[in-house]
Chains A and B, each alone.
Chain A
Amino acid sequence: MINPILASSALRRMRSAKTLLILGIYVLVLLLIVLAMLSPFLRESRVTIDNFQMGLITYIVLMLAQFFLIVLVTPAMTAGSIAGERERQTLELLLVTNTGSYAIVLGKWMESFAFIALLILCGLPVTALTMLPGGVGLMSVLLGTLFLLVCAFAASAVGVLCSSFMKNTVGATVISYIVLLFIGVSTLLPLFFSITPGMADRLYDTAKYAAMTPLDAVKMMPKLLFLNPGVGLVALVEDQVAAVQSTFASSQGRLYALFLMMKKIGYGRMALINMGGMVLLAEAFSGVAALLVRPRKVRVRKRK
């Protein structure tokens, strides 16, 4: 049986005119970006090497735009999921039913995620336009969409988590943005503090680097970086476009070290590990949210 909270929330969302409006605006923004960037190709419609570049760059820009749109839209769309129930005074009515707290959280989370997924899937035909000039394959578009879906899955879990303990939607939305920013920054910090000179030595020495196995690189990689969606996005783009690593080659800095580690692991594999990390993080967040939704035990205070 479908989770009743998911089914009912989805029905109510799809009845709202706001839903169609958001979908329309999202697709329109993506379409404008693609049309603006591909306009030289659309005017000339000749197949050249420059066109391949144009397609690649448009794909990268579109991925980045969708990534940031999702990061912006998701908290606003999900933070009201449970806090909104609290504001409407319907949460208690759900808690007295036989639907457990995790089922309530899961229903609200999946409904919010389903809407963001709908946004991404509606953007898929627009993303597929980047294949027209050549240079970007169908697999790249599908993998990019999968990555965006995983990001939305994790970001919506953050929104639901914040929604589970905040009393109102506005507060939950603000806290969601702060938590997302904190996750983004804190999972990137090891890049500046955990890459030791010893590690850099192994990476920059050609012989040592060649002797290193992908598993060594996984062990060497600061683990928090596996949870950073930005790192995942870079790995994904690099896997498909192979255009960013060379930019940092001359600096031999921390970013170049990161790219070398990712290269050894395999950019595609790195993106997959990153997606796995985000899914696990999202599951953990939803579990905590279920604990926070449930009424808490009280300590007995003895009267003096």
Chain B
Amino acid sequence: MLTIEGLTRYYGKFLALDHLNLTIGDGELHGFVGPNGAGKTTTMRILATLLPASSGRAEIDGAVIGRNNRKARSLVGYMPDFFGAYDNLKSWEYLDFYARCYGVGKKDRDRMTGQLLDLVGLSDKREAYVNSLSRGMKQRLCLARALVHDPRLLILDEPASGMDPRARAEMKGILRTLKEMGKTVLISSHILPELSEMCDSLTILDHGKLVFTGTVEALSRKMNGDAPLDIRLVPGCGEAQVENAVTALRQMPCVTAITEEEPYLLRVRLQGEEDACADILRALLSAGAPVHDFHRAPMNLEKVFMEVTGHD
């Protein structure tokens, strides 16, 4: 559905996007994550034909951005990270207006307007003026606007920003429905856990560079491979026992660092996978260390994000 090759964008001398390569399959819900200024919005604006790329190529279902913009626009539904509204238009008029701009016929417009208001849960607000809607409702109306021409690819730039938990949950529900409808969705956020719950795959950007792209599981696997080992000894076992355990650990070639996080809790950084963990446990038990708990500390996605983007 979407192929990006070497996409680059400069703002003056500032490099906002640096040779981005990315492929998103048909019907995929793809998360685009990165801190502020990572290049997410720049990428999305290029894909929405709003911003020309400095170099590189982006193709949406055969339509090359910059060359077949008209075709690309009919394939893409874009929802920016702001809500552009005409206050003195009613909800249905707002959708009808954009449908006309996309060249949708009268019959289809009438049908589509009702269906979309239904989809985003605003059927009862059909005759309400846009300025009378709450922020969450406006966001949902904006999402409906991006769907008026029945696009195959949806580009949503932080659609849930500024929403309360209930509105966020509603937005997630709508996105799941869109996925069931077979839409390909590219959604950005700077909150990785939020996206990991609903996305099939993720791309992490930092300072305009691609840091990671793949499935959520692949990301967790990659990061948990580097996770430290937490060894908890029986509380009150005595300093000598702790010293024994530390000495046994120091003798292991796979151990790279040992820290005592709290009394009777040793955090061990190691090189290796499951085999190395088994060797360490064997060595500890041989040394008579009273091991109470032994596990690799799982990294939550917040930590993964910090780790991957190199921030503390």
Give the B-binding residues of A (Cβ under 8 A): 1, 4-5, 7-8, 11-12, 15-16, 88-99, 295-301, 303
Contacts and interface: CB of A to CB of B under 8 A. Distances in A.
A96 B73 contact: yes
Interface in B140-199: 145, 149
Given A90-B84, A92-B84, A300-B55, A97 B50 contact: no
A109 to B, nearest CB: 16
16 contacts: A5-B101, A93-B80, A95-B49, A95-B50, A96-B49, A96-B50, A97-B101, A98-B102, A295-B51, A296-B52, A298-B10, A298-B52, A299-B54, A301-B12, A301-B13, A303-B15
B84 A16 contact: no
Contacts of A94: 101
A88 B78 contact: no
Contacts of B73: 96-98
By DSSP majority rule, is chain A's interface helix, strand, loop, or mixed? loop
Contacts of A298: 9-10, 52, 54
B100 A4 contact: yes
A61 B128 CA distance: 47
A98 B74 contact: yes
Contacts of B145: 93
A180 B152 CA distance: 46
A97 B10 contact: no
Nearest to B78: A96
Contacts, number: 80
Given A89-B83, A96-B76, A98-B70, 16 more contacts: A4-B97, A4-B100, A4-B101, A5-B101, A7-B100, A8-B89, A12-B88, A15-B88, A88-B85, A95-B50, A96-B78, A97-B102, A98-B149, A99-B102, A295-B49, A301-B13
Interface of B: 8-10, 12-13, 15, 48-52, 54-55, 70, 73-74, 76, 78, 80, 82-86, 88-89, 93, 97-98, 100-103, 145, 149
Nearest to B48: A96
Contacts of A99: 101-102
Nearest to A13: B88
Contacts of B102: 97-99
Contacts of A89: 80, 82-84
B10 A12 contact: no
B85 to A, nearest CB: 7
A88 B101 contact: no
Contacts of A96: 48-50, 73, 76, 78
A97 B54 contact: no
A145 B100 CA distance: 34
Contacts of A301: 10, 12-13, 54
Given A96-B76, A295-B52, A301-B13, A90 B85 contact: yes
